[in-house]
Amino acid sequence: MDQIRIEKLQVYAHHGVFPEEAKLGQRFTVSAVLCTDIRRPGLSDDLANTIDYGAVCREIVSFMTENRFQLIEACCEQLAERLLLTWPDVLNQVDLEIQKPWAPIGLPLETAAVRISRGWHDAYLALGSNMGDRQAFLQGAVDHFREDPRTRVQSVSTFIETASYGYTDQAPFLNGVMRVRTTLSPDELLDRCHEEEQAADRVRKIHWGPRTLDLDILFYDDEIIGTERLVVPHPDMAARDFVLKPMAEIAPWKVHPVTGKTMARMLRDLEEAGNAAE
């Protein structure tokens, strides 16, 4: 990834745990690596096609002087998000370091520093509903994700009606998939999905039972995640045509990081297996 680098920008601010730090302030230095595509501005020689690092420096100074944090960890985290949300179309990732020279710890120390790397991530979410106004529940979730600056909706599949899966004694579902670009971590994205389900008054009584809104993380970049609360890629995807059909519609080229198959290939495999069974 191409980079624009800002080295040791000096800012006088009032961050720290101790009261005298809040009152008197101190000097901080900020370094940032802006990961972006430099090909276009490199060919055009036009500032409009790149990230104005002068504007980034001014944004950093403004953020650090207008806010106060006890921890430079919090300052660094929220500054990284501010930069990503300010330049979402051109800034893919930011590596940020905040140094606190002569931190007041009572020992000879040149500097204490926090360094983080944050960026936009590519995720696919499955949507389903089989209660009430199914179309409204699905479209409402899409709209709410569009309104959240941390999740930029890239594409949404056609909503298709399918028979219930697992627990079959229930109404048919309306299903779809949306692709989002997000600054949220996998666990944060899962929490965001649960918030959306709760807003739709989803009730969890029966496994695979009726629901107003169901949101599942299918992919998060090409990560393979297996924790107690989250498994990605979604483990039962290969058997679900109501997932593979929408995926094949909006991202037929997407490769499953475990099977190595594209969504189009996985859908064909499922359809061929179904035909063979008949």
Which amino acids are annotated catalytic? 100
List the structure tokens of 146: 């569009």
How wide is the angle at C-alpha 220 spanned by C-alphas 216 and 225, nearest 5°? Answer: 85
Q: Spell out the SS3 assignment of the chain.
A: CCEEEEEEEEEEECCCCCHHHHHHCEEEEEEEEEECCCHHHHHHCCHHHCCCHHHHHHHHHHHHHHCCCCCHHHHHHHHHHHHHHHCCCCCCEEEEEEEEECCCCCCCCCEEEEEEEEECEEEEEEEEECCCCHHHHHHHHHHHHHHCCCEEEEEECCCEEECCCCCCCCCCEEEEEEEEEECCCHHHHHHHHHHHHHHCCCCCCCCCCCCCCEEEEEEECCCCEECCCCEECCCCHHHCHHHHHHHHHHCCCCECCCCCCEHHHHHHHHHHHHHHHC
**What is the distance between the alpha carbons of residues 63 and 74, in angstroms, rounded to a whole number?**
12
Burial of 88 (0-12, 13-18, 19+ CB in 10 A): middle
